[in-house]
Amino acid sequence: MSILTILHHPDPRLRQNARPVTTFDSDLQRLIEDMFETMYDAPGVGLAATQIGVDLRLAVMDCSDERTSPIVMVNPELSNFRELEKLDEGCLSVPDVQDQVPRYNRVHLKALDRQGKPFELEASGLLAQCMQHELDHLDGKLFIDHLSWLKRDRIRKKLSRKRRSD
Ligand code: GNR
Ligand code: NI
């Protein structure tokens, strides 16, 4: 297993619309293990393949306090969006930035598991929020896209100052 490098905004690879997964081979299983290791190490509650420069519709998540509920979603689809709220959010690809974005508190997930078998899940709370965040990554979107122009401009300036001092 290995810890993978997480891309940071404004890397153009974070803006790609990822391709569906079609083969569920041992390479895919290794990629999923590495993504879990990278997510738990970060630490984060989710990680999309897009964030490590892999152009596939695949994300891993674990929103449990004990970090014992790993979920893999391959080619995910969300539906039945309910209860729009504004929730605090952050992203491993946009370090040191947190802000409130509109998310649904309840969603229905249809996806494939790591073996390619279809499953469905009714999600709420942080897990539902995380699913929406990860699906955005697979569509080349970041949570800061949901913020006002003024806030995004402040973030852009903050990150370019940070890059100069790194
Ligand atoms: O670790 C993460 N925390 C988080 C908090 C609120 C909403 C979404 C997230 S996902 C984020 C990890 C990440 O960047 N996944 O893409
Ligand atoms: Ni993210």
Q: Does residue 119 have a pLDDT over 90? A: yes
**Per-residue pLDDT reduced to its tens digit, 15-40:** 999 999 999 999 999 999 999 999 99
Q: Which of 85, 120, 122, 134 is catalytic?
A: 134
Residue 121 CB-half CA count within 13 A: 17
Distance between Cα 14 and ligand 2 center (Å): 10
Ligand 1, residues at Cβ distance < 6 Å? 44-48, 51, 89-93, 129-130, 133-134, 137
134 is known as an active-site residue: yes
pLDDT of residue 164: 87
Closest Cα to residue 132, out of 148, 108, 113, 149?
108
Helix (H) or strand (E) holding 33: helix 26-41
Task: Report which of residues 166 and 104 the model is more confident about.
Answer: 104
pLDDT of residue 163: 82
